[in-house]
A = this chain, B = another copy of it.
Amino acid sequence: MKIGFVGLGHMGQEVARHLLIENRQLTVWNRSPERAAQLTAAGATFAKSLDEVLVNDVLFSMLPDDPIIDEVLIRSGVFDRAHKEIVHVNLSTISPGFASKLASFHRKKGQKYISAPVLGRPEVAKSGKLTVVAAGDLEILPSIQHLFDSFGQKTWTLGTHAEKANVVKLAANLMLVAAVESMSEASALVNGYGVDPGELLEITNSNVFACPAYQIYGKGIASNTFEPAEFTVHLGAKDVRLGLAAAEEVNIPMPLSSVARDSLLEAKAMGEDDMDLSVLGRVARARAGRG
C-alpha cells in the first residue's frame, strides 16, 4: 500500500515513524522540509510537491488547524489531481464543523474521508500507543486498520459522521484541562491552610483519581515544575477555544470550560505559552496572592 503523510510536527513525526515501520512505501511532505530528515534517513521518500503525496492510496494528514488544512489541502486544489480512490485520513485536531465540510468535500469527489484524531501525549505517540477515535467512511477501515495499529493501541469507532470523532477528541481535551484546573484550584485551597499541594495530590491521585490525567499533570503542580511540557498551555488553549466554539455552534453552555479558558489566558498573559498545562497550578496560587 502506498501511503502519503502530510504534517511533520512533533506528533506527526512520531506517527509517520511508526507507519514507516509497518509500511515501507511512505511518501512524506512538510512545509518545512528539514523536519523530514529523520524519516527520509529511515527510508521514507520526501515528496517534491504536495501533488506527489496525493498519488498514493492513503493520505494521512496531521496539520495544526482548520485554516492551514483549508489552505494547504482544499483551496490549493491538490485533491482534484489526486488518486481517484484516495482515502484521506485526517489525524488533525480540527473543529467538528470543518470536519463535516471536509467529509462533504471528499464525498463530492468520490473520495473517502475519515476523521481520526488521536488522544495521547508526545511520549505516548513515541511508544506507538495512541488512542485513535475514528468516524467517517469506516467501510474502508478494515483495509487500513493495520496502519492505525502501527501507532495506536486502540481504535474507537463512532460511525459515519466524521465530525463525531472530532467532537469527542475536543470533549476529551476539555475534560483534561478541567482536571488540571481542578487540581490547581484544590491545591491553592489546601495551600491556604499550610498543606503542601503534593500531600493532597498524593492522597487523591493514589485513590479515586488514580489515573494518568491526574497523576501526570499532578506531578507538575506538586513540584511546581512546568517544563518540559507534556502538553503546552498554547495547545491546551487552542483545544479549549475549539471546544468552546464547537459548543457555541450548537448552543451548549460550557461554564467549566470557560473557567479553564480564562485560567489559560492568565497563563498566556504571564508569558507561559510553552509551559506545561500544570502551570495552571501557579496561576491559581497567584490569584490567591500566593504566586
Contacts and interface: CB of A to CB of B under 8 A. Distances in A.
B183 A167 contact: no
Interface in A178-221: 178-179, 181-183, 185-190, 192-195, 199-200, 202-204, 207-214
A102 to B, nearest CB: 15
Interface stretch (A23-31, A46-54, A256-264): A256-264
Nearest to A213: B208
Contact of A158 (B96, B195, B266): B195
Interface in A155-190: 156, 158, 161, 163-164, 167-168, 170-172, 174-176, 178-179, 181-183, 185-190
A256 B181 contact: yes
Q: Is the interface of A mostly helix, strand, loop or mixed?
A: helix
Given A174-B186, A269-B289, 9 more contacts: A131-B203, A167-B189, A167-B192, A172-B208, A175-B183, A185-B257, A192-B247, A253-B269, A266-B289
Interface of A: 96, 119, 131, 133, 156, 158, 161, 163-164, 167-168, 170-172, 174-176, 178-179, 181-183, 185-190, 192-195, 199-200, 202-204, 207-214, 241, 243, 246-263, 265-266, 268-271, 284, 287-290
